[in-house]
Structure 1
Amino acid sequence: MLTPYQAQYYALQLSRRTPANSLEKFAATLVDAQVDLNPHQVEAALFAFRSPLSRGAMLADEVGLGKTIEAGLVISQKWAEQKRRMLIIAPSSLRKQWSQELADKFFLPSVVIEKKLFDQEIKKGNHNPFHQDGKIVICSYHFARSKEDHLSQTQWDLAILDEAHKLRNVYRSDNQIGTSVRASLRNVPKILLTATPLQNSLLELYGMVSIIDEQIFGDLASFRDRYGRLDDAAFAELQQRLRPVCKRTLRRDVLEYIKYTHRKPLLQTYEPYPDEQELYDLVSDYLQSENLYALPASQRSLMTLILRKLLASSSYAISGTLTRLTKKMELMLQFGGVASTNELADDYEALEDTAEEWGGEDVGPSSQFNELEAEQIRAEHHFLQRAENLALSIQRNAKGEALLKALETGFAAMAEQGANRKAIIFTESRRTQEYLQDLLQNNGYSDEVVIFNGDNNTPAAKKIYQDYLAKHRGTDRISGATSADQRAALVDHFRDTASIMVATEAAAEGINLQFCSLLVNYDLPWNPQRIEQRIGRCHRYGQKHDVVVVNFLNENNAADRRVFELLNSKFHLFSGVFGASDEVLGSIESGVDIEKRIAAIYQTCRTEEEIQAAFDTLQQEMEVQIASQINKTKQQLLDHFDAEVHEKLRISLDESRTYLNTWQNWLWQLTRFALADCATFADGGAYEFSLLRNPFHGQDIPTGRYCLGQGNSSAYQYRIGHPLAQALIGLAAAYEGHPTPDGAVHPVTLKFDYTKVPQKVSILEPLIGQAGILQLSRLSIHSFEREDYLRLFAVTDQGVILTQEQCERLFSLPAVIDEDFLARPQVQGKTLEQGFRTWKSDLLDENLARNGTFFDEEMTKLEHWADDQKNALELHLRNVEQEIKARRTTARKLVVLQEKLDEQRAIKKLETERNQLRARLFQAQDEIDERKEELLSTVEERMQQGVEEETVFLVGWELH
């Protein structure tokens, strides 16, 4: 019992544009997104562009609080506003994860741009492959730097910089990636995501803020002079200047809303069998040789790292690689040529990402060999054959047998806490993955194992994929992207059927395994960030049980023992509520640096004493970085922006829930009304329906089951952004009133039925039996941004004005249209008109006041910047004058005439520089005044309020 007038009201509410700093702005986005409502995330997303003059923000929540979700909310809102040219720059290992998160949680399409796709696009005639219509572009930092020209030519609506602490040294001239990214995105609105905006120096904070907006602070010298000695006054000033650009929420602020479980470490030791130890020593000695022809000179360090990782993984992993290298050397002897990294691609799946992170060593190999070199190649070939034969002869792996013990212990721990009997086992080798599958299936886990890697093309994986397609045919679970659907199918199979997933690094990103709480690092990466990424698949928001993390330790290997000690005791990866905090991980420039340092120790140290000494040195360096005294400053500067943050979050949560419930109800009521003739709706209050036929010819809208909100994975996810919802909203919003036979609009009366309301509505009871007129008015204000407002006005026949709450509750009741419309006295129309004029005046005043606040913030920022610019010049001028004074004193003491002349020449040059600086001070003031005038003109132009007003409809009303 809904009327077209009510449907039109709901449609206009669902499609209107709200003020930039209103929580209501994200209501539609939250209805669309498959995310839980956490108030700090909504607050952060709102903060990012709460001012239309803002150039962006740094979202610096502590680790585990969902900065990706915060950015996703902003991206979704921009997308809804038709601002769809958006860029995400992230570490290479996180690119796929971003793509998957956007698709799964926000239903947004994206494309990962890397060299191969870039070159393909160029060949197709796309001169700038960053131009991707209808898709969000994702790339790595290294790639962004390499394509700076193309990046800067794109008019981006928004750029997200993930793990932005990687750019914190942008203030240094040698920071090439940071400098490149800042230059290519200079005028682009940006959001920086990092849990560690400040680690070792306030200059890092200066650098990151300069990426967002170069006019928040002046130059580096001025910043150093102003905040180098952070006394109370300077501290308060710096905090105030950071307030509009940096938002940080702490875990303790949100524990009321987010519950975290613990990590519990389990160490499984083992001793290699004699033939395994012999193989390890043989290959290790080989890798420490001065010259190796099997490994390309340009990638010697990288190849050595990978071979050591395969060697530590299993004899099966290294045997395949040794076979490939042996055959490669045979070809080299026959036909010349050089070695490449291709021999490792099939064995070590993370080769491409690792190679990009490590970079080349720029040593050009030779493809021509003299007789001496050929003899050395033959000797190396013979050595590799010997190692290959030994590896192939090994039948038992001590670590594999230790795995069976670890699983037994781990599953017992799962049973004790009532957790699922699920375990994810990570290995860095495809061959080890195959070995473990066979080992497990032959030792009590038959038909319980599922394999996950970068290809997922085994017969078993293909069958799981086909079953998944059949099960979810006709639902949103099928994305159409084969790779994504294969991954989803395997995860579902692991959750519903299998007990164990054996995975390569491909599973360390972009999948959610919160139903699993036993994680086994069969091979332990040396990069702590990769380990944290793995554990984050299970130990995440939504995990209901403590996560047991199993690691293996070769008791015969001194270097392995020290690696584990470093990762466990210094990075705290395997225990506690949060594991490795970003405070710790952020203290290192990159996990790759640690990986390279560890690899160098394995490569150069031959005795246990050398190994211990090298790790002692590395550990001491890590302790200095991790225990940096800057942490205290960071806590004071960034962690306490708002003393009432907890209460603020509580209010935000209440408001967000109200908006969310309201918008969801509007969409549902509109949908039930509009699809009454072509859909069946579920009983019992469930937000589900079955679309029997497509009501919109020419639009690709599938029939089948739909579900509004989170829950039913076997149905299409119905949401505001869905093509069906958008079509219904557009149709209802365009309603032009009740037509007469001659095409005119017939005035009608809406008869509201109070008896159909299941609950008592006290504010409406005095109106039962009364009648009057009701008007829906729309007001749009164009200033900095467009803002749309709707308001219902109603009055009784006795002249009593209804409150806004009464109007809204009345209009939400079941109603029918009566074509009889009783003409009312003119005074009632004047009453509605007066109500509209008062409402309009209040809205315009609010808009002006809000814009005034935004303007004041910009002017304050500009004045601080102007002070910084002048201070920098005055500082330089003082230094020059001091040097002139010192040189004059020196000149008077000189005896040799030529030396006196040289010194006077130097003084004259400094005096010229001083005079130029004095002139530059006046010039700088003129430039600052010009910049102020430019801002004033821009703001003045944008502040001119363009106002559109409309009476959407005027109807009579009766309440029975």
Structure 2
Amino acid sequence: MLLEQYGRFKKAELEESPFRCLLNANIEINPHQINAFCAAIQALKTGGIVLADEVGLGKTIEAGLTLKYVLDSGAKHVLIALPATLRKQWEVELEEKFNLQASILDRLTVESNLSFWKACLENRDEVRIVITSYDYSSKLMQRFPKVKWDFIIMDEAHNLRNVFHGTKRAKRLYELSKGIPKILLTATPLQNSLSDLHGLISFIDPRIFGSEKVFNKRFIEGQDYTELKRELIPVLYRTLRRDVGKYMDFKKRECRTIDFVLSPDEVELYMRVNNFLKKDVLYSIPNANKGLIVLVIRKLLASSSYALIETFEVLKNRLQKLYEGTKSANAQDGFDLFWNFVEDEIDESGFEEIDDEDTLFQKQQIQAEIDEVDAIIETASRIQSNAKVKALKTAIHTAFEYQEKQNIPQKVVVFTESKRTQKYIASELRKDGFEEDDILLFNGDFNDAMTKEIYRAWQVKNFGKTNYGRSVEYKHAIVDYFKEHSKILIVTDAGSEGLNLQFCNTVINYDLPWNPQKIEQRIGRCHRYGQKYDVVAINLLNTGNEADRRVYEILSKKFELFDGVFGASDIALGALESGTSFEKTILEIYQNCGTRAEFKKAFDRLDRQIDAKRNKKAVQLRSILMTESDAAKGAALEKTKNDIDQYLQQVDFWTQVAEPDVEGNLNYWKIDNWGERTFGSHGTLFVGAFCNSNNEMLFPVLLLCDEQGRYIDFTENDIVQALENVNDDDVRYFKPTDEELASYRNIYDTLVQEMLSKYQASSKPVMDYNKRKVENWADIQREQLNIQIAEMNAEIDELSAEATAGKDFLEKVDIRKKVDEKKKQLQKVQTSFHQKVSSIQEEAEREIAEFNQQFDIQPILLVNVVLKF
């Protein structure tokens, strides 16, 4: 009976615990992720946090847990802003792991049904999670200014670090998201300069570091790293992979290369396409998107002659329409082929009408280009077998032999960037003796007969189970089929998003992307938590191409992608501005270099640039992010693991305790013999909850007092264990005397004060941090005024020196006038200095008081049972 009475409050507390998000999430429970999640929900009270775990440790899981907590706490509208290529991946992860439905929004989706989305987003009665690109996120907020966003997640947030002197999109998002609680996710919050941190933390709260001038003076010039670390502790949480080896068993990864040499026809095709792409004027490619399309064609050139034929047929179609005089806006049929490969947003202005030049000359140029494209298509059509496919067959047979010897399941994942190449590889492998069932193709389209048949079979097998949504279920079906039936999965990067293939230990890069982050994502499909065997990454290398060889060398040695326990290290990837910018750098080398010497010079320069970003200073800067020692980190993770275990045990225990039969009003009960036997004395036990003035429970209470009414601070576990031994037959009602009632009232007042102290102690860290942050902001404002005065004095001194050195009388008079004007401005600033400082101080005190007000409560001790023993 007593456990049931207390259980009413205890179950409510467990339901309010942050750990409750673990109960219905489809995730492995890892202590570092729960630590990050707890740090995040604490930080949201004062603006937010940067979650900065190294690659592969599950920042998306941490964000998902936080999102679930925020929604459970009453949030309605959440915005997730990220690079466009990650939108689908996030939608899948939220649905699969947290059973959360999100909407991917872009300009076309919104504008095609404007009234619907306006109504949806402005409706505060429904939960709405919106996933959108960085570029569109601020446009969406401007499009619907009445929408109140409760929470924002920004993934790959290092892209936003140059907020004050970089892209407009970062600046717009910064301005529009001010004051909205948010978390930023990035494995590399500090890449090249401490100012990166200033930009990112300013998204959380610009008052933490103040203006860039003050930040530079304090931390870049002053190098006050101790103070900088102290400021970062509440707003940046970071775990390295070396921290979690005790909890997450990571297997090694190793690299193998299979070399090949192009046939004479393939060499001819390469030279023709290479020369074509280097031309300054190309009518077949829209100018605004030329760089992107050239990049795609170079990727396909490294893929297969079959992929190239389709590509150049699209270009030929455009050329023929232009030759006939059609507007170039109507000559874009088939260009969707290219957009599947690129990560940047497309500039549609590239398809506007071409310049009106001499028509005859224009037609001659277009005809010459058509002839060139025809020659490329004819050369590609002559090639019956690609040298690269022969290398792939060798790679697959080598992998299967190794797996058989090591008693590893015979499975390989082959990555290619082209759907056409995908089909070509499959047909060539079937010629080599592989059965229809051995080979599985997937590119994310869900529209071929085999994929549909696999999905139908999966639906039958999983009838009546959780509905994850069609796109997620298709991927489950593909993964299951590969695991149970196929040996070879040929997959594109788009198709692989969201696939967990830890039962396969071999990845073959048929096409090797130039973007290191994309390669890391590929290998990460297999080299992930749960993999039982060392992962082998096999790359196919054209040894006759010096540029290809140097690119592979950089990816392998500089970015450490293919070897070691963790793959691409934090420091290695930290040398990247971004994967796409590195890709464009490589493209420029291919486009601008012709001779072996030119390639060598360009790649040597790129090597030096990468090394410069990985020097001693870069390593020292990254150490700033480690705000606690290895020992402290280890202890914190161990404590969290124990806390999670204890929480799950408590949920299990209290779930089995029935709801109370007796009404929840004040009950006076008495039990004989139990107190002396259990605690060695008589006394009173108060069962109930500590609440605020709105009767909202703050925490449940089991309060033990001795015969004199003095509070004895026994742990909850001790008292619960004692209550388990109570025989309900020994418990009976009693009516307290007036003397006892007076005594209980006195005890009640004492207990209220004891519990209030406990509540205030739990609130104090948040209040202290906010107070320090606001006082720090006030100090920064004063420092900013002093910097302004110092700069004005320096300017006056400089002008005075210029006037003294000047030889022209009129020029000297003019400069002295400027000096007088500057002195007047300085005097005005100095005169108002104390008034401004006083105003800043008043504002700081007011803000601290307003923040603390939420913790001022009129406490109520709600007592269900007074147990006399």
What TM-score, normalized by structure 1, do the two folds share? 0.82
CA distance in 1, matches of 2:613, 2:303: 30
Seen in structure 2, the aligned counterparts of structure 1 residues 227 and 496 have a Cα distance that, compared at 3 Å, is: same
Q: Is 1:915 equivalent to 2:856 in the alignment?
A: no
Match of 2:164 in 1: 171
Deviations 1:312-363 (A, max 9, x none): 1011111112223323333333351217895555645733x5242x767869
Q: Is 1:14 equivalent to 2:2 in the alignment?
A: no
Seen in structure 2, the aligned counterparts of structure 1 residues 663 and 388 have a Cα distance that, compared at 3 Å, is: same
Superposed counterparts of 1:277-356, under 5 Å: 277-334=267-324, 336-338=326-328, 347=337, 350-351=340-341, 353-356=342-345
Q: Residue 603 of structure 1: which of 557, 577, 591 is its match?
A: 591
Seen in structure 2, the aligned counterparts of structure 1 residues 128 and 585 have a Cα distance that, compared at 3 Å, is: farther
Q: Matched residue of 2:302: which SS?
A: helix
Seen in structure 2, the aligned counterparts of structure 1 residues 792 and 859 have a Cα distance that, compared at 3 Å, is: closer
CA distance in 2, matches of 1:165, 1:202: 12
1:170 maps to amino acid:
V
CA distance in 2, matches of 1:898, 1:324: 70
Match of 2:662 in 1: 737
Kept after mapping to 2: 8 A contact 1:27/1:656: yes
Q: Residue 523 of structure 1: which of 492, 511, 523 is its match?
A: 511
Q: Matched residue of 1:215: which SS?
A: coil
1:16 maps to amino acid:
E
Kept after mapping to 2: 8 A contact 1:72/1:106: yes
Kept after mapping to 2: 8 A contact 1:259/1:541: yes
Match of 1:876 in 2: 788
Deviation, 1:812, is: 5.6
CA distance in 2, matches of 1:393, 1:315: 9
Kept after mapping to 2: 8 A contact 1:822/1:956: no
Q: Residue 780 of structure 1: which of 691, 698, 710 is its match?
A: 691
Deviation, 1:42, is: 1.6
Match of 2:837 in 1: 925
CA distance in 2, matches of 1:764, 1:158: 50
Kept after mapping to 1: 8 A contact 2:251/2:535: yes
Comparing 461-470 and 144-153, the one that deviates more: 144-153
2:47 maps to amino acid:
R
Kept after mapping to 2: 8 A contact 1:45/1:74: yes
Comparing 482-491 and 915-924, the one that deviates more: 915-924
Superposed counterparts of 1:604-683, under 5 Å: 604-627=592-615, 629-636=617-624, 638-640=626-628, 644-667=632-655, 669=656
Deviations 1:728-748 (A, max 9, x none): xxxx6xx77369xxxxx9989
Deviation, 1:573, is: 1.0
Seen in structure 2, the aligned counterparts of structure 1 residues 637 and 429 have a Cα distance that, compared at 3 Å, is: closer
Kept after mapping to 2: 8 A contact 1:170/1:207: yes
CA distance in 2, matches of 1:243, 1:308: 46
Kept after mapping to 1: 8 A contact 2:233/2:627: no
Seen in structure 2, the aligned counterparts of structure 1 residues 885 and 394 have a Cα distance that, compared at 3 Å, is: closer
Match of 1:401 in 2: 390
Deviation, 1:956, is: 10
Seen in structure 2, the aligned counterparts of structure 1 residues 942 and 736 have a Cα distance that, compared at 3 Å, is: farther
Seen in structure 2, the aligned counterparts of structure 1 residues 815 and 175 have a Cα distance that, compared at 3 Å, is: farther
Match of 2:779 in 1: 867
Q: Residue 28 of structure 2: which of 18, 36, 42 is its match?
A: 36
Q: Residue 156 of structure 1: which of 111, 136, 149 is its match?
A: 149
Q: Is 1:790 equivalent to 2:780 in the alignment?
A: no
Q: Is 1:226 equivalent to 2:218 in the alignment?
A: yes
Kept after mapping to 2: 8 A contact 1:347/1:431: no
Match of 1:390 in 2: 379
CA distance in 1, matches of 2:610, 2:373: 37
Deviations 1:40-80 (A, max 9, x none): 22222111232674111122222322222222221121122
Q: Is 1:410 equivalent to 2:399 in the alignment?
A: yes
Give the unaligned 5+ runs of structure 1. Answer: 19-23, 674-731, 740-744, 752-762
CA distance in 2, matches of 1:56, 1:875: 29
CA distance in 1, matches of 2:730, 2:675: 24
Q: Matched residue of 1:49: which SS?
A: helix
CA distance in 2, matches of 1:184, 1:228: 28
Q: Matched residue of 2:613: which SS?
A: helix
CA distance in 2, matches of 1:349, 1:889: 60
Seen in structure 2, the aligned counterparts of structure 1 residues 350 and 901 have a Cα distance that, compared at 3 Å, is: same
2:164 maps to amino acid:
Y
Comparing 578-587 and 800-809, the one that deviates more: 800-809
Q: Is 1:431 equivalent to 2:420 in the alignment?
A: yes
CA distance in 1, matches of 2:759, 2:663: 35
Kept after mapping to 1: 8 A contact 2:9/2:689: no
1:649 maps to amino acid:
L
Q: Matched residue of 1:108: which SS?
A: coil
Deviation, 1:128, is: 7.7
Match of 2:759 in 1: 847
CA distance in 1, matches of 2:652, 2:170: 42
Superposed counterparts of 1:453-468, under 5 Å: 453-468=443-458
Deviation, 1:547, is: 0.9
Deviation, 1:264, is: 0.5
Q: Is 1:378 equivalent to 2:370 in the alignment?
A: no
Kept after mapping to 1: 8 A contact 2:79/2:151: yes
CA distance in 1, matches of 2:807, 2:866: 100
Q: Matched residue of 2:17: which SS?
A: helix
CA distance in 1, matches of 2:22, 2:206: 33
Deviations 1:556-596 (A, max 9, x none): 22221121112111111111111112333233221111111
Kept after mapping to 1: 8 A contact 2:225/2:624: no
Match of 1:240 in 2: 230
What TM-score, normalized by structure 2, do the two folds share? 0.90
CA distance in 1, matches of 2:323, 2:349: 25
CA distance in 1, matches of 2:104, 2:668: 55
Deviation, 1:804, is: 4.2
Kept after mapping to 2: 8 A contact 1:59/1:193: yes
Match of 1:182 in 2: 174
Give the unaligned 5+ runs of structure 2. Answer: none
Deviations 1:795-844 (A, max 9, x none): 999x999974354236668998x899554665888887777655433221
CA distance in 1, matches of 2:823, 2:178: 36
Match of 2:577 in 1: 589
CA distance in 1, matches of 2:92, 2:727: 44
Q: Residue 90 of structure 1: which of 82, 93, 98 is its match?
A: 82
Q: Matched residue of 2:486: which SS?
A: coil
Deviation, 1:460, is: 0.7
Match of 1:263 in 2: 253
Q: Is 1:46 equivalent to 2:35 in the alignment?
A: no
CA distance in 1, matches of 2:350, 2:724: 71
Kept after mapping to 2: 8 A contact 1:297/1:365: no
Kept after mapping to 2: 8 A contact 1:317/1:347: no
Q: Residue 129 of structure 2: which of 136, 150, 170 is its match?
A: 136
Match of 1:275 in 2: 265
1:266 maps to amino acid:
R
Q: Residue 818 of structure 2: which of 883, 903, 906 is its match?
A: 906
% identical aligned pairs: 32
Deviation, 1:365, is: 4.4
Seen in structure 2, the aligned counterparts of structure 1 residues 537 and 838 have a Cα distance that, compared at 3 Å, is: farther
Q: Matched residue of 2:567: which SS?
A: coil
CA distance in 2, matches of 1:942, 1:52: 15
Q: Residue 67 of structure 2: which of 75, 78, 84 is its match?
A: 75
Deviation, 1:8, is: 7.1
Q: Matched residue of 1:946: which SS?
A: coil
Match of 2:545 in 1: 557
CA distance in 2, matches of 1:941, 1:820: 43
2:272 maps to amino acid:
L
Match of 1:707 in 2: none
Q: Matched residue of 1:536: which SS?
A: helix
